[in-house]
Structure 1
Amino acid sequence: MSTTDRRIRKSQEAIKKAVIELMMEKNFDQITIQDISDRADVSRRTIYLHYTDKFNLLDKLIEEHIEDLCELCESTDDDTGYIDMGLLWFEYFESHYLFFSALLASKGDSFFRNRFLSYFIKELEYELDTRPEGSTQGLPGGEDVDIQFLGAAIVGVVEWWFKNEKPLPPSIMAQRLGRLLERNLEAYAPACMKDGALN
Structure 2
Amino acid sequence: MSVQQSQVVTDRRIARTKQFISEAFVALLLKKDIEEIVIKDITETANVNRSTFYSYYRDKFDLLDHMVKDRLEQLNTLWDTERSQSAGYKPDFNTPDPFFVLLFSHMEENEIFYRVLLTKINPATAGADHASSLLGFIREAFYDRITALSMEQKQSVPLDLLLDYISFSTFHMARKWLEQRMIYSSRHMALQLTRLSILGAYDAMGVLQA
Q: TM-score w.r.t. structure 1 length? A: 0.81
**d(CA) in 1 for partners of 2:131 and 2:15?**
27
**d(CA) in 2 for partners of 1:124 and 1:179?**
16
In the TM superposition, residue 109 of structure 1 has moved relative to its aligned partner by 2.2
Q: Which runs of 5+ in 1 are unaligned?
A: 137-141, 186-199
**Any idea what SS the aligned residue of 2:130 has?**
helix
Say whether residues 1:69 and 2:78 are aligned partners. no
Count of residue pairs the alignment pairs up? 179
> Contact (CA 8 Å) 1:21, 1:102: kept in 2 or not?
no
Alignment of 1:8-87 (within 5 A): 8-76=14-82, 77=85, 78-80=87-89, 83-85=96-98, 86-87=100-101
In the TM superposition, residue 38 of structure 1 has moved relative to its aligned partner by 1.2
Once the two structures are superposed, residues 98-146 of structure 1 have per-residue CA deviations (whole angstroms, 9 ceiling, x without a partner) of: 11111123x222322211111112223334434421112xxxxx32222
In the TM superposition, residue 81 of structure 1 has moved relative to its aligned partner by 5.5
Structure 1's 143 and 41: CA in aligned 2 closer, same or farther, altered over 3 A?
Answer: same
Say whether residues 1:120 and 2:104 are aligned partners. no
Letter in 1 for 2:112: L
Larger Rg: 2
**Larger relative CO (CA 8 A, sep 6+): 1 or 2?**
1
Q: TM-score w.r.t. structure 2 length? A: 0.78
Structure 1's 27 and 92: CA in aligned 2 closer, same or farther, altered over 3 A?
Answer: same
Q: Which runs of 5+ in 2 are unaligned?
A: 124-128, 202-210
Residue 177 of structure 2 aligns with which residue? Answer: 161
Structure 1's 38 and 80: CA in aligned 2 closer, same or farther, altered over 3 A?
Answer: farther
Residue 147 of structure 2 aligns with which residue? Answer: 129
**Any idea what SS the aligned residue of 1:153 has?**
helix
